[in-house]
Each structure stands twice: as C-alpha cells, then as structure tokens.
Amino acid sequence: MARMSSTKEFPFSKGLLPQEETLEIGRQNKKLIIGIPKETDETESRIPLTPEAVELLVNCGHEIIIERGAGNLANYSDREYSEKGARIVESSREVFQAEIVLKISPLLPSEINMLTENQVVITSLLLTPAAGQQIKGLISKKATAIAFESIRDADGDYPVVRAMSSIAGSTSILVAAEYLSNVNKGKGVMLGGVSGITPTEVVILGAGWAGEFAARAAIGLGANVKLFDDSIRRLMEVQDILGQRLYTSIFHQQVLERVLKTADVVIGAIQPQETKGRLIITEEQVKLMKKGAVIVDLSIDKGGCFETSEVRNHKNPAYEKYGVIHYCVPNITARVARTSSIAMSNVFNPIISEIAETGGVKQHLKEDAGLRHGVYVYNGILTNSYLGGLYNIPSRDINLLMAAF
C-alpha cells in the first residue's frame, strides 16, 4: 500500500498551522549626500566618481555635489555631470558641508577648516611631513577619516591599490619608452624589439600588481624582461599568469648587479616599508648602469627604492644622475587621469551603495571589516597605532570603539 501524502495526513494547509513568528528587521536605505571638491594640487588630475557612476547613485536617491571644474583635467565636463544628476556648485565650502567628502589627495589645512563636526572624509593618506597636522585637524573636527588605499575587499585584497598599481605598472613602461627616445634626449632606442636587433632589456624589481603589469606591458612590446622578488611563490604565479617562462630571480646582490649593468630600463615596484629598507638599489649600484638607461621609481611615494631617487612632479618629472635618467613622480597614474578615474570609480561606487543599504557609514563600519581597516580617525579619535607612534598622538583600537558608538 502506498504511503499517504502529507496533505492527506494533515488536511490543513501548512500556512494555516501555528507557525513560529519570524521578525525581520529590514535594512534602512539611507540617502547620502556626497561632496566632491576640485583638487587643489595642480598635479592631481583624477576624480573619484565618473558621470556614469554619479548617474547610478542619483538614480538610487543620493545627492552628489561637485565643485565646478573638478573633472576638467580628466576630460569630464561640468555639463556631463549635471546631465547625470549632479549638482554643480561654485564654492568649495558648499562641497565641504556634505555628509561624505570624497577626494583623491589629502585635505589641506584650509579644507579641514571648512569641515563641520562628525563628517566622513574619504581620501588618500600620504605620510608626508604635513600628515601629522592633517590628522590633528581631523581629530579637532571629530571627523571620521578613511584612507581609501587601506580599504580591503572580501578577499582581503586592497581594491584601490590593486587598480592603481595595475595602471601604474603599465604606464611605467610607456614612460620608460618615452625617455629612451631621442625626443626626450634619450639614447634613441625603441623599447621592445624587431627582427635583427637585440631587444631592449627591462628589469623589474617587485612582482606585485605593479610589477606584474609592467612585465605584461614590456613583454607585449617585445622587450627582454627580468623580474625580481623575494617570494618564489609570487614569481611562479606571475609566470603562470603571463603564460610564458621569463627570467626570474630572488634579490641576490651579485645577480642584481650583473643585470643592472646591461639593463636599458629598471622599474622599481618594491615597497621599502615591506622590506624594512633592505631592498634598495644603492648609489654605487646605479653607477653600474649604462649611460642613457632609464629608472622609473613607482615606490617614490613611500620613500623610493633607489638611493638616487628624488621626488618630482608632472611639470618637472625627470632628471639625470650618473648618466641615468630618473623618473620619480608619486602619482604616475594621474598621467592617464581618465582611465584612473574610471578604475577608482569602479571601486567607490559599490562601496557607497553598500554604505547606503546598511544605513550610513557608522553603521556599515560595524559590519564591514574591510572598510573599517581603512579608518584611521573615528569620531575624532585616532585608531591607527602606527600613526600614533609616528606623530605622538594617542590612539585606540577601532574594534573597541565600535562597541561604544
């Protein structure tokens, strides 16, 4: 005899039976007011949100306030932004009244003075001599400051750093090609190779995102690439990613000095603070390089990985030392401002949407450890112990503060 179905055993429908009560607390989709000021640094040409990203956010009910001319250097006009729903304002003061201020370069003291209490500021954090005063200013305003380069994603990676490093790596090869040409008083050598001519030799220090994309671009042009890193695993990964066997080595002084003598281009993509300064190319090693060779130091914003590196800007980007051309500009990605702006916008847009869905920045920080990792000032309290020791400012653990606010 076949087993009776449950509906015959229980003549009442499931919906009419006594049920355990379920209480669902819906998320509050908060309307955000985001201000984007015009960059005061004349060498900074990027903007954190593109018109397309603005349109998506405005359609979700958010208000975007943009200072007139903020996107000009990235070739985004005020009209493009206004047509997508942004409000264009003449005064930077009005932008700095927004709930969230989104900016590329760190705030200047004059900009911090325009903040009101308890605002959220999302910018880069550069450890310059002025950074200590900037942090103290944000503390005095009881602001919450987030360094976008320290924001992590669900995989533990740094999405802004990954995006900018990828662009910087590719751009570094194009820059090197410019300075090898005789138009820029270089040797008159083409970066790459053609039949019958020995290909140019590109040495890349560091196999991170920047190093990987520099290698990709150099190989694409036909150069002979030599990649150095202190991680065998990472060197193997890059070889697998690029799909070919290329010259790889750990940082061995004798090997490094040998390839420096024959290199046409050396890309510095190693972070000095990650190696405690032990992986740096000395002045004596730079002297070993060929006359007319090119150095591009992508780590210059962190102190540089060449002893001969000097911080320059886009107006005066290169100089010659011991016959070697040096290019040491911190924000190299600003050379390709539109591409960089799109890449940054692709990161910021979903972050802002998630903040709104959660109910605001303060609430979202409790749920998102990745965004919380980027916070260095919370409600006027320094939360980064490294910065506290560096600038002699008391700090507290943000995870403990989350329970208090």
Report pLDDT digits (tens) over 32-85.
999 999 998 888 999 999 999 999 999 999 999 999 999 999 999 999 999 999
pLDDT in tens, 336-362: 999 999 999 999 999 999 999 998 998
**266 found inside a domain:** yes
Confidence tier at 28 by pLDDT (50, 70, 90): low
Of 310, 330, 350, the position where a domain reaches its end is: 330
- In this structure, the answer to whether residues 272 and 359 fall within a common structural domain is no
Which residues, including other chains, have CB under 8 Å from residue 355's CB and lie 6 or more apart?
Answer: 30, 32, 361, 364, 371
| Domain at 197, CATH number | 3.40.50.720
Measured between alpha carbons, how far is 61 from 356 in angstroms, rounded to an integer?
10
172 belongs to a structural domain? yes
| Pair (114, 258) in one structural domain | no
Helix or strand or coil: residue 170?
Answer: helix
Question: In percent, how much of the chain has pLDDT > 90?
Answer: 69
122, 218: one domain: no
d(CA 264, CA 295): 9
Domain boundary among 288, 313, 330: 330
pLDDT score, position 302: 78
Rounded alpha-carbon distances, angstroms, from residue 149 to 44, 248, 354: 16, 28, 18
* Least confident window among 56-70, 128-142, 265-279, 318-332: 265-279
What pTM does this model have?
0.84
At 246, the pLDDT band (50, 70, 90 cuts) reads: confident
The proportion of the chain whose per-residue pLDDT surpasses 70, expressed as a percent, equals: 91
Looking at the fold, whether 113 and 217 belong to one and the same domain comes out as no
Instruction: Report d(CA 265, CA 328) in Å as an integer.
Output: 14
Average pLDDT rounded to a whole number, residues 320-335:
94
Greater model confidence, 93 or 279? 93
What is the model's pLDDT at position 380? 93
Pair (85, 223) in one structural domain: no
Q: Does 160 map to a domain?
A: no
CA distances from 358 to 61, 363, 367 (A): 15, 6, 9
Instruction: Out of 330, 360, 378, pick the residue that ends a domain.
Output: 330
Average pLDDT, the chain: 88
Looking at the structure, tell me whether residues 177 and 303 fall in a common domain: yes
Residue 260 counted as domain residue: yes
Average pLDDT estimate for 135-162 = 93
Q: What's the rounded mean pLDDT across residues 108-116?
A: 93
279-285 average pLDDT score:
88
Tell me how far apart the alpha carbons of residues 375 and 116 are, in angstroms, rounded to a whole number. Answer: 18
- Choice among 55-69, 117-131, 322-336 with the minimum mean pLDDT: 117-131
Q: 253, exposed or middle or buried, with CB in 10 Å at 0-12, 13-18, 19+? A: exposed
Please report whether residue 372 resides in a domain: yes
Would residue 12 count as lying in a domain?
Answer: no
Residues 107 and 242 in one domain: no
Q: Are residues 312 and 169 in the same domain?
A: yes
Q: Is residue 14 part of a domain?
A: no
Number of independent structural domains in the chain: 2
Pair 324, 346 in one domain = no
Query: What pLDDT does residue 244 have?
Result: 79
- pLDDT, mean of residues 171-188: 91
In a domain, 21, yes or no: no
> Are 139 and 234 in the same domain?
no
Domain that holds residue 71: 33-150+337-404
Residue 299 and residue 187 share a domain: yes
| Lowest mean pLDDT segment, chosen from 23-32, 274-283, 320-329 | 23-32
Q: Which of 289, 329, 323, 291 minimizes the C-alpha distance to 309?
A: 329
Q: Are residues 40 and 68 in the same domain?
A: yes
Gap between the Cα atoms of 303 and 280, Å rounded: 10
Q: What is the pLDDT of residue 304?
A: 87
